[in-house]
A and B are shown apart, each in its own frame.
Chain A
């Protein structure tokens, strides 16, 4: 084994506590960690596993309301727990850098990129202002940002999300640190953009032989980036080994269950006959202001079928949902429900038309009124549309809660704040079911959830579809979800339907070029995938 001089960062029995109301709760419970120079360690786990907290602790920092309560943190021989603020300030930015999940929220919107880039090196006295600026241009070029000479003089809102994330990585590299902490740097990005950022990050980490902690919840991503992987669960280590052996044969049950998530697939539905679709969108053109967001969009959704609408941000998926629900009347075209044209504006629709098409939202947090109890959240549609009162209503609410696998006695009088993320999403589903609809729009319902929880939601939706003959329109950007749940797929780009058809055809070549790009950009659980893909794309571009 390598000698200990090589070790850059080590944590021994690290404990971190967080304060809630009156008491301190353990967030990280005795984690050991060692990182050698030039090595990339992947930290993986669900939300609440303590990944980000450990990442910040590597800089000797604890968030507000948290404290490092035990253990040792040593960075290159410096005890980070005993070091004073001045020592830590000299290290941060210069020898340890941090790349946050949302570059858009982390850049100061009032300053140009290059000004924010230069601040670190100039403050730490590593470079003069002019040197920093020319260095920035050089790094922007290496990160393959467009117009590296001038992009630094733009404000954060003037560049795209993927470019901003790369600019932030460049900024972290500014002082050529020994260690960079990447906290979910690609989670907020589209798959095609994610590739570019991943490739750029890996490139630059290799070029400068920088050590990195790569924090993510996405296994396929970490497989591309890390030399070793550490799996965390609720503040404790589950297992750690090098990437290849971790992927090939995980030893712990929890790790195996994480690996197994992506294998859920829905039974193939028989092909649709010539029956009447529940919902059909005919040549819809719609938009805001003078811009057309949707251009001549048409597709059908048949009873008991799940149609997945796939596309990147800005492709018009959510706008399609707004047209169907009547929130955005289209400029041209119409929406037919059971062969009958729906009034374009929801205010002109009859109560029954409203009842038939329900919606489940992406963020269950904002989709449930935080001041109402579950009884009213779930009961209101039943009361309103079906006229249930008193005992009948109570029974119906209990029945719905049982359907979504939540114990009525326990949950009926709770507030949304007393539920977990997955449970909130289940309540959203129950609310949609309460109206007894034929058709439900699911807008990115699983994208805010952990994989295991999302899996449970998908299975539940699948089961309910069979029980109640529902048709689903499933809006998502995640192709793994599409594989898991869809019968038919509609691929959208820039407001146009690029390709549509049954799932089995969709995942078989030949594809439309955009579908091809989208499909090939989904990370796979193979550590050589990114290298192979980049090579293949380079040859394709040359040829």
Chain B
């Protein structure tokens, strides 16, 4: 019975989620200018649902102080209080409000992951395009350097670097961005390699365009689709890496709320059959799934495949 009830509620959740996605798609399409609306109408329901959830996360992160019932770091009750009317999701190991911390963590974790991914992309795309458009020894030096960095397992390398430079949020961002930019470099270079051989790039070179304009106006716009898709995927990986580092105690430091360390702090509750510590993990999982829904849609569009 338990299994069937579970499946029943899961089915209800999926249907409701897709329905919400549908309503969201219609609403946004109606409010957008025509070309965007056209694109949106072709979006599958999964992608619409993904966009809706991402939007909710972003709103929660931006308006965290207004939405959260309690402050982020203040002890407002006793330890491990169960769910009740005041503390909707109970309290954590120090007596802080779980729901409020979940909401604030969206701000911290998602914000840091976004900044890190953006940095990784700026670095990776710039070097990748440079390697492809200049070629020769520049390409060799950059590519081999990236090979060396990629040869070291990412998590171990991150732990190593963080022990050397010390744990702080800025250091963590920089270290993860550096490690992740190697993957972005490989993709950007591969995509750009196919573009630099096009006649319009040759025409631009013959026109005497400088390297900057050649890369920004001729190559980058044509490489955007796969890069945007990769951005979504990378974002998830960065996100998981930050959570992993936080869980290991090297990431975001207490008392700042973040989903990784919230799992770690409250893990003992699991032994008592309480699912509260799984909530932050669930928040991570849901965001990851939703980002991938949107990314899949974009990849599908970029590859030009038909159903």
Contacts and interface: CB of A to CB of B under 8 A. Distances in A.
Contact of B206 (A327, A363, A368, A371): A327
Please indicate which of the listed interface residues B198, B203, B206, B218 has the most CB atoms of chain A within 10 Å of its own CB: B203
A435 to B, nearest CB: 8
A354 interface: yes
B208 interface: yes
Contacts of A361: 199, 203
Interface string A365-399: 01111111000100011001000000000000000
A406 B204 CA distance: 23
B208 A366 contact: no
B218 A325 contact: no
Contact of B205 (A346, A372, A435): A346
A366 B207 CA distance: 16
Interface residues of B, number: 17
B195 to A, nearest CB: 9
Contact of A384 (B205, B207, B221): B207
Nearest to B306: A65
A166 B191 CA distance: 37
Interface in B201-244: 202-209, 217-218, 221-222, 224
B208 A351 contact: yes
A232 to B, nearest CB: 26
Contacts of B207: 354, 380-381, 384, 435
Contacts of B306: 64-65
A348 to B, nearest CB: 11
A442 to B, nearest CB: 13
Interface in A439-462: none
Contacts of A326: 206
Interface in B279-307: 306
B200 interface: yes
Contacts of B203: 359, 361, 367, 431
19 contacts: A64-B306, A65-B306, A326-B206, A327-B202, A346-B205, A351-B208, A359-B206, A361-B199, A361-B203, A367-B200, A369-B217, A369-B221, A371-B221, A372-B217, A376-B217, A380-B207, A381-B207, A384-B207, A431-B203
A312 B199 CA distance: 21
Given A65-B306, A325-B206, A326-B206, A367 B217 contact: no
Interface in A43-66: 64-65
B48 to A, nearest CB: 17
Contacts of A367: 199-200, 203
Contacts of A359: 203, 206
A381 B204 CA distance: 9
B221 A366 contact: no
Contacts of B205: 346
- What is the size category of the interface that chain A forms with chain B? 20 to 34
B222 A384 contact: no
Interface in A199-253: none
Contacts of B208: 349, 351, 354, 384
A179 to B, nearest CB: 30
A381 B213 CA distance: 13
Interface string A338-352: 000000001001010
Contacts of A327: 202, 206
A359 B209 CA distance: 15
B199 A363 contact: yes
Interface of A: 64-65, 325-327, 346, 349, 351, 354, 359, 361, 363, 366-372, 376, 380-381, 384, 431, 435
Contact of B222 (A65, A363, A371): A371
B225 to A, nearest CB: 10
Interface in B100-139: none
Nearest to A351: B208
A64 B203 CA distance: 35
A297 to B, nearest CB: 20
Contacts of B200: 366-369
Nearest to A369: B200
Nearest to A363: B199
A397 to B, nearest CB: 16
B297 to A, nearest CB: 16
Nearest to B208: A354
Contacts of B206: 325-327, 346, 354, 359
Given A369-B222, A380-B207, A435-B207, 18 more contacts: A65-B306, A325-B206, A327-B202, A349-B208, A351-B208, A354-B207, A354-B208, A359-B203, A366-B198, A367-B199, A367-B200, A368-B200, A369-B204, A369-B217, A369-B218, A369-B221, A376-B217, A384-B207
Contacts of B217: 369, 372, 376
A325 B224 CA distance: 30
A487 to B, nearest CB: 25
B54 to A, nearest CB: 26
A496 B246 CA distance: 70
Contacts of A363: 199
Contacts of A381: 207
Contacts of B204: 369
A61 B224 CA distance: 36
B200 to A, nearest CB: 4
A185 B224 CA distance: 38
A342 B179 CA distance: 46
Contacts of B209: 384
A376 B217 CA distance: 10
Please indicate which of the listed interface residues B198, B206, B208, B217 has the most CB atoms of chain A within 10 Å of its own CB: B208
A359 B207 CA distance: 10
Contacts of A372: 217, 221
Contacts of A354: 206-208
A359 B205 CA distance: 12
Nearest to B201: A369
A383 to B, nearest CB: 11
A371 B221 CA distance: 6
A368 B217 CA distance: 12
A312 B252 CA distance: 67
B150 to A, nearest CB: 30
A65 B208 CA distance: 42
Which 5 pairs of residues, A with B, have the shortest CB-CB distance?
A371-B221, A367-B199, A369-B200, A366-B199, A354-B208
B125 to A, nearest CB: 16
Contacts of A384: 207-209
Nearest to B41: A22
Contacts of A369: 200, 204, 217-218, 221-222
A361 B199 CA distance: 8
A351 B217 CA distance: 19
Contacts of B199: 361, 363, 366-367
A7 to B, nearest CB: 36
Nearest to B209: A384
A368 B199 CA distance: 8
A370 B222 contact: yes
A366 B203 CA distance: 10
A387 to B, nearest CB: 14
A367 B206 CA distance: 12
A240 to B, nearest CB: 34
B215 to A, nearest CB: 13
A431 B221 CA distance: 20
A283 B209 CA distance: 30
